[in-house]
Amino acid sequence: MSLPRLALCLSLLLATAPAHANEPAAATLDGAWQLQSGEFVDELGRTVDYASLDLQGIKVLGDGHFAFTTTQGGRFWAGGSGGFVADAGSYTETPRMASYPLVEGGRYRFSYTLEGDTWTLERHEDGKRVEREVWRRLTVSP
């Protein structure tokens, strides 16, 4: 390959890299997830543990879309679906349908860590954590 052609190829790669910068992070989250634990701050400012409410959930992510269902004691409690974007430490859901009133303009931004098959999300408002969830990737058994 000639030097001018190589330079052109490298320039094209560099020019398109930022447009696809969040794709690898989002792709690593694709799959089915089971809720392991969580907590949220209620309207009175109290921290409520998901276990105390007997909440269980499944979330499925794929190709920039998500859907989840949460049950309480085996009965439907909440659900939603829509789009998401993710980068190395930030995950934002934008529900298009939900069984609950949408707040913050319908966008929910979380910081997250992904360690193996454990995905931990935290959402903050006014500098205080208002939600934390720990999910475990579901794997297909042979």
Domain boundaries, the chain: 22-137
Q: What is the mean pLDDT of residues 64-77?
A: 97
Instruction: Name which residue leads in pLDDT, 30 or 27.
Output: 30
pLDDT of residue 88: 87
pLDDT of residue 40: 96
The answer to whether 91 touches 84, Cβ cutoff 8 Å, is yes
Q: To the nearest whole number, what is the mean pLDDT of the chain?
A: 84
By C-alpha distance, which of 136, 139, 113 is closest to 35?
136
pLDDT digits (tens, 9 = 90+) for 36-60: 999 999 999 999 999 999 999 999 9
- The span from the CA of 88 to the CA of 109, in Å, is 13
Instruction: Give residue 24's pLDDT band: very low, low, confident or very high (50, 70, 90).
Output: low
Q: What is the mean pLDDT of residues 103-124?
A: 93
- The span from the CA of 80 to the CA of 127, in Å, is 26
CA distances from 30 to 23, 26, 119 (A): 11, 7, 11
Q: What is the mean pLDDT of residues 110-138?
A: 96
Fold of 22-137: Lipocalin (2.40.128)
Give me the residues paired with residue 70 across strands.
57, 78
The answer to whether 128 touches 122, Cβ cutoff 8 Å, is no
pLDDT of residue 142: 66
Residue 19 pLDDT > 60: no
Cα dihedral 115, 119, 120, 126, rounded to 10, equals: 120
pLDDT of residue 27: 76
Instruction: Give residue 26's pLDDT band: very low, low, confident or very high (50, 70, 90).
Output: confident
By C-alpha distance, which of 97, 86, 90 is closest to 64?
86
DSSP annotation string for 38-99: EEEE-TTS-EEEGGGGTEEEEEEEETTEEEEEEEETTEEEEEEEEEEEE-SSEEEEEEEEES
pLDDT of residue 138: 97
